[in-house]
Structure 1
């Protein structure tokens, strides 16, 4: 029996866990042990508890509350998560190494886990990258801009990368690991599971990539039960911290549509305050594929898996990004014509007008259906099986410790 360690360090929500869970099931069915090392344990038991997967808290960066500059590229994300403080970064990398020593994995799967990758350098361990395009930048120097639609001086990208590279290499030296020539070296692994489609890749300039397709797999959750309302059904996956959530809920309630919303962590008091005959709020996860199979429209914040699932189901979308990855995903959805977005800096969104436009104009639904038809042959189960089989082949050919 081999042991696979799934490592998740950056990002939010429970989409990371849900994405790898079908692969983990197949690995366990083949007789192997999978342990999840997670940034956020909030929904670990909901998603993993019934299946008795082991899970642990990942060593993560704790922000000090100071405002952070907008990340220009992936190096900027690392700068904002402590990579310019070598002493603190070393502690986190050393904690990852302690996990490796105690758990003795045969394969490491990195999902937005750069410090776990840094800690693995120089060790006789085999690693694989897993995730959407955003967290797997292409091998270039400096790493490309995240917002190519805005002017970004190449010198700024290079300067940010130089500062982050210096911090990472200081830690690598203390770990007696090979240093990095460029930051792209950090992403050199035995395999890259790029779980997206070219049209949705955060880096459209990527070349010579194998796209495995997005992780659109059935997850644990409740069956959707639609409230009363008009024939039009709207499904929403929203965050309670979204600044304009109140006005959005008012607009949905006033629409008269049958609206079913999943808002993780929503209290019973919050749900009672905002829900109505035509609007129901669920704090616990719902079965996404079932909700999308019966809805007409979707509203969400631009999560990669959620957006791709909506497209595959042929559903037009209102996308409300709150951070850069979501903003990129929202832009890709609007580029294929399947939805509209509200930029995070919009102070007073006119939700009623946006929702009316999205529901009344047939071009959005037509574009979403056309995209879904293009990938109608995509089989999430087959993808999960293929990834699991590749993981096992990596284990079979891994280097042996002395």
Structure 2
């Protein structure tokens, strides 16, 4: 039996750990050994409780990188700010990953947004696979694409930052006698990139591409959906406390008489609610997304990849409040589908009530979401997890 390292290094939220959990379950059921190497061991503890899988702390960048532009124009700039600006600093991170890999001796490193795990595996001659949505699986064999497609980033800036990224990576690889990388994308793709999305939801809207494996969704978890009493239409909101637009959209939903089930992690932990109304119920713990989406008419989110995919699979239109380049690109894809509104692209002052009314009452949004759901009605996360397990086994035989 093989030993698989499932690694997560960059990115916030539990989505990465949830995806790795969905990968771990079929591999372990087939008798393989699995080890998690995770960015966060605390917030993931409840999610992974009871699995009996060894979990290690991933080496991560703990410092502030000064002098970086405020709006990151490419994945290269994101990585430069996470330890890749200086080859000596990157060597320290890579040494940590190399030590973990030498201790565990995995047959395959599986990376979910874990570029330094891929770098370390390459330096040791270990095979690596990368899983994730379009954002973390950029097009192969070409320069990293710009993230802010709504702006024109200077091409010289994009070339310079990718060259700086490659210089750091290749300096580290050369110190270990490993072959250099030709493109920044190599750092994210590893030896076996697996694009876990569909073309409609690909952040980079690449022509051709694939194979499209569908979203790598976490196993169902969370409590049953419990809605406020009354007759208003049901809306499920999965938001972040203090994020722009959170209080405004909840206020609009209340004014339109909607019954809102809202999960805000900070409110669940004791923070004050942004809107106090009997029409809004704040869940005390994470809510089962399949349960909530099956019962609501509209989903309000920050356009995270997994939540967006599940809402569309349920045929629900979305009102989206993206707050980062990744979620902004995802929101644009949903708008292009005709299945939602990106509130952050609307002119100020934003007409929150108008957006809610449009999504609830104009059939075009519901029809577009329903068409997407019909297109992928045969997709199941369980089948996709088994398909991934087949692929990983083939990589180590």
- The residue number in structure 1 matching 2:203 is 202
Deviation at 1:56, TM superposition (A): 2.1
Partner Cα separation in structure 2 for residue 272 and residue 343 of structure 1: 22
- Matches of 2:248 and 2:274 in 1, distance apart? 13
For the 8 Å contact 1:265–1:283, the answer to whether it is kept is no
Q: Deviations over 1:46-77 (max 9, x none)?
A: 21012223222211122428574322222122
In 1, Cα distance between the equivalents of 2:230 and 2:65? 43
- Maintained 8 Å contact 2:15/2:218: no
Aligned residue in 2 for 1:166: 167
Give how far 1:156 is off. Answer: 2.2
Kindly indicate whether the alpha-carbon contact (under 8 Å) linking 2:293 and 2:316 is maintained by their aligned counterparts in 1. Answer: yes
How far apart, CA to CA, are the structure 1 residues paired with 2:31 and 2:203? 35
Contact residue 112 and residue 132 of structure 2 kept, 8 A: yes
The residue that corresponds to 2:3 in the other structure is: 3
Secondary structure, aligned partner of 1:385: helix
Deviation at 1:273, TM superposition (A): 6.8
1:92-136 per-position Cα deviation (integer Å, ceiling 9, x unaligned): 111111111112211110111111111111323221110001001
Tell me, yes or no, if the aligned pair for 2:65 and 2:82 is still in contact at 8 Å.
no
Deviates more, 1:249-258 or 1:305-314: 249-258
Aligned counterparts of 1:171 and 1:125: Cα–Cα separation in 2:
16
Q: In 2, are the aligned partners of 1:238 and 1:261 still within 8 Å (CA)?
A: yes
Which residue pairs with 1:50 in the alignment?
A: 50
In the alignment, which residue of structure 2 is the partner of 1:24? Answer: 24
CA distance in 2: counterparts of 1:334 and 1:348, whole angstroms = 20
Indicate conservation of the 8 Å contact 1:300/1:318, yes or no. Answer: yes
Structure 1 gaps of 5+ residues are: 397-402
TM-score scaled to structure 2, two decimals?
A: 0.93
Unaligned stretches of 5+ residues in structure 2: none
SS at match of 1:134: helix
> Take 1:273 and 1:322, find their aligned partners in 2: how far apart are those partners?
18
Distance 2:29 2:76 in 1: 38
2: CA distance, partners of 1:27 / 1:206: 32
Instruction: State how far apart, in whole Å, the 2-side matches of 1:275 and 1:218 are.
Output: 32
1:358 aligns with 2:359: yes
Shift in Å at residue 208 of structure 1? 3.9
Q: Report runs of 4+ in structure 1 exceeding 6 Å deviation.
A: 344-347
Q: How many residues align?
A: 396
Contact 2:132 2:196 in 1 (8 A): yes
Task: Please state if 1:302 is matched with 2:282.
Answer: no
Aligned match of 1:69: 70
2: CA distance, partners of 1:349 / 1:42: 37
In 2, Cα distance between equivalents of 1:63 and 1:341: 33
> 1:44, 1:55 within 8 Å by CA — same for their partners in 2?
no
